Amino acid sequence: MKLLVHGADGRLGSLIVGLAERETDVKVTKGGRKADLETLLPACDVAIDVSRPAGTIALVKAAAVTATPLVIGTTGFSAVEQCLLDEQAARLPVLLAPNFSLGVNLLFWLVQKAAGLLGPDYRVEIVEMHHELKRDAPSGTARRLGEAVAAARGQNYEQVVRHGRAGPDGARTADEVGMHSLRGGDIAGEHTVFLIGQGERLELTHRAANRELFARGALRAARWLQGKPPGRYGMGDVLGLPPAA
């Protein structure tokens, strides 16, 4: 597999490069902020992007010309940028993953299933924790968990999410999805979804002990995406998960 890692100098990018270089069947090329994508992409079978939104958009536009499959782990896109990603998925295989952990992607499925089965009488609160240098809040993973809850209940995530609580009018409404972000130290990532009913609560948690697990998931996604037709994919497709709804 001829692999381009875009954002290779970052925390996750360097881990993906290191792991790929230990694989005997992978030839890895590193791409940074000033990479000549028009030259690099034609020589690659698939690209993994773990850069920043502006870098991702530049990569997507270049990949649309070469039809290079893209595995995208970058988060924090604007609505306009997200629409562009969706449009390009009609031209090439695009796998979007706010989190490459196999366990987290199973958690997405479990949360959507649980929220649908338990119904609206169970209130949902999401708490995510990351290291103090993480830029976006809430994390892309936490947002995806909130979207899974909203999808299970036929809601619009943007209309029901509530980021923290403060002030005298802090009472919780029945349909909101509470979202809370904690930052500190070197936490690789922790996400807990609370489904709280009368007299009981269900807690679904994933804890990442280190960041290499994300690199392993990214490589697995890249291998899987090779040869796929144009379209938008996710890690659930890599795992072969059935629809949660």
Q: Is 134 a catalytic residue?
A: yes
Sign of the CA dihedral 223, 3, 8, 15?
positive
The residues pairing with 162 across neighbouring beta strands, listed in sequence order, are 178
Place of tokens 């909101």: 176
DSSP letter for each residue of 134-178? --SSS-HHHHHHHHHHHHHTT--HHHHEEE---SS--PPPSS-EE
Distances (CA, A) of 222 to 26, 86, 94, 129, 150: 11, 19, 10, 27, 29
Within a 13 Å sphere around the CA of 146, how many CA atoms are in the beta-carbon half?
Answer: 25
Sheet strand arrangement including 161-163: 161-163, 177-183, 123-130, 190-197, 200-207
From the number of C-beta atoms within 10 Å of its C-beta (0-12, 13-18, 19+), residue 11 rates as middle
Residue 159 and residue 174: Cα distance in Å, rounded?
13
Q: Is 27 a catalytic residue?
A: no
From the list 134, 180, 191, 206, the catalytic residue is 134
Closest residue by Cα to residue 141 from 214, 46, 87, 215 = 214
From the list 6, 30, 130, 191, the catalytic residue is 130
For residue 117 the two structure tokens come to 């089965």
Any idea which residues carry the catalytic annotation?
130, 134
